[in-house]
Amino acid sequence: MGRWSRKVAEQFLEWLDPAPRAHWLEVGCGTGALTEAICGSAQPSSIVACDPSPGFISFAESRLGRCPATFLAVDADDLPRREGGFDFVVSGLVLNFLVQPAIAVGSMRQRTRIGGKVAAYVWDYSEGMEFLRVFWEQAIELDPSASHLAERHRFPFCRPDPLTELFAQAGLADVEVRPFEFPFIFHDFHDYWAPFLGGTGPAPSYVASLDTQGRTALMNRLKKRLVPASDGTIRLGARAFGVRGLVANRQ
Ligand SMILES: C[S@@+](CC[C@H](N)C(=O)[O-])C[C@H]1O[C@@H](n2cnc3c(N)ncnc32)[C@H](O)[C@@H]1O
């Protein structure tokens, strides 16, 4: 997903339109797709980028050595503070993985200065991720018992109304949600299928649970379903939702 994480991070930052020299706190930086976009386009004074995975943190740190960023191996439950608060507290593609997103958004708000912004984005797992929709449509036709595993059932709050409510209930003002849309372009069928074989997440875990025969049957169905364009590429729609809110006062 890395190539598209960078794309959505860029669109998100365009939407935030931050003033230069801001102080940023990032929650769940992973290997640094959003951190890199902040460094590249927002002229930050500082970024504190956090993730609970020490492996991701050391990878991001070694990759983004030229960024004015400090990387910390900490959870959303244990976010650092800055005297006076951060200008922006942000998170990319993380909220749906948290056990208690409402508590995390509350902590993000507390770390933000009055007048600063809390903002995040998540993939639209319910309707907007065509590459997953096609995968599960075919998987479920072969194995109806898999239907509850699809991301759209597991992450129902990745939609405008629940996201608005999540931010409003955390006490944020002027809450806005907007979609970011672009195609996922796969070079060929192998480029589409390979990530399902080795990655983490609901769909790759499901593929790993199949025996060789089941895996081949699913692969063949998908191959038949995903008709490439004349140049061999497979183009599927993707959508994320960004959400942002203002810290208008200290609760
Ligand atoms: C899909 S990745 C997104 C990474 C990065 N922000 C990006 O846009 O590519 C989700 C990230 O959430 C992190 N994460 C999972 N649970 C978390 C938690 N409780 N607190 C903070 N981050 C968490 C994971 O370690 C992972 O790096």
Residue 251 predicted with pLDDT over 90 = no
Q: Which residue has the higher pLDDT, 65 or 29?
A: 29
The predicted model gives 112-139 an average pLDDT of 94
Chain mean position to CA 100: 16
- List pocket residues of ligand 1, CB cut-off 6 Å: 5, 9, 27-30, 33-34, 51-53, 56, 75-76, 92-94, 97-98
| Domain identity same for 205 and 116 | no
CATH number of the domain at 13, please. Answer: 3.40.50.150
Number of independent structural domains in the chain: 2
Lowest mean pLDDT across 124-138, 142-156, 207-221, 232-246: 142-156
Q: Are residues 44 and 96 in the same domain?
A: yes
Inside any domain, residue 198: yes
Residue at 138: amino acid letter: Q
Q: Is the pLDDT of residue 179 over 90?
A: yes
Does the residue 173 lie in any domain?
yes
Range name among 22-26, 51-55, 142-146 with the lowest pLDDT average: 142-146
Question: Given a cut of 70, is residue 66 above it in pLDDT?
Answer: yes
Q: If you take atom 15 of ligand 1, which residue's CA is the nearest one?
A: 97
CA pair distance 248, 251, nearest whole angstrom: 9
Same domain, 197 and 171: no
Are 206 and 154 in contact by the 8 Å Cβ rule? The answer is: no
87 with 147, same domain?
Answer: no
Best-predicted range by mean pLDDT (43-52, 126-135, 190-199): 43-52
The answer to whether residues 195 and 83 belong to one domain is no
pLDDT score for 199: 67
Mean residue pLDDT across the chain: 94
| Residue 38 lies inside a defined structural domain of this protein | yes
- Residue 198: per-residue pLDDT: 83
Q: Per the structure block, which two tokens stand in for 225?
A: 């379903």
Verify that 143 and 170 share a domain, yes or no: no
Q: Tell me, yes or no, whether 116 lies in a domain.
A: yes
Whether residues 73 and 170 fall in one domain: yes
The model scores a pTM over 0.75: yes
Instruction: Say yes or no: 41 and 109 in one domain.
Output: yes
Rounded to the nearest whole angstrom, what is the distance from the C-alpha of residue 134 to the centroid of ligand 1? Answer: 25
In tens, the pLDDT along 136-156 reads 999 999 999 998 887 777 788
Q: Is 12 inside any structural domain?
A: yes
Asked if the structure places residue 20 within a domain, the reply is: yes
Report CA(217)–ligand 1 centroid distance (Å). 32
Beta strands at 86-92 and 23-27: parallel, antiparallel or unpaired? parallel
What is the arithmetic mean of pLDDT over 209-224?
Answer: 96
The Cα–Cα gap between 183 and 181 comes to 7
Task: Say how many C-beta atoms besides its own lie within 10 A of residue 5's C-beta.
Answer: 21
233 domain residue, yes or no:
no
Tell me: do 208 and 175 sit in the same domain. no
Q: Are 240 and 92 in contact (CB under 8 A)?
A: no
Domain hosting 144: range is: 125-154+189-227
Question: Which numbered atom of ligand 1 lies nearest the CA of 91?
Answer: 6
223 and 130 inside one domain: yes
CA 18–ligand 1 middle distance (angstroms): 22
pLDDT at position 147 is 85
Characterise 56 by phi-psi region: left (phi > 0), alpha (psi -120 to 50), beta (else). alpha
The CA distance from 135 to 222, in Å, is 7
Task: Give the model confidence (pLDDT) of 71-80 as tens digits.
Answer: 999 999 999 9
Tokens of 76: 């959303």
Strands 234-246 and 173-186: antiparallel
pLDDT of residue 151: 73
Residues 95 and 147 in one domain: no
Both 92 and 138 in a single domain?
Answer: no
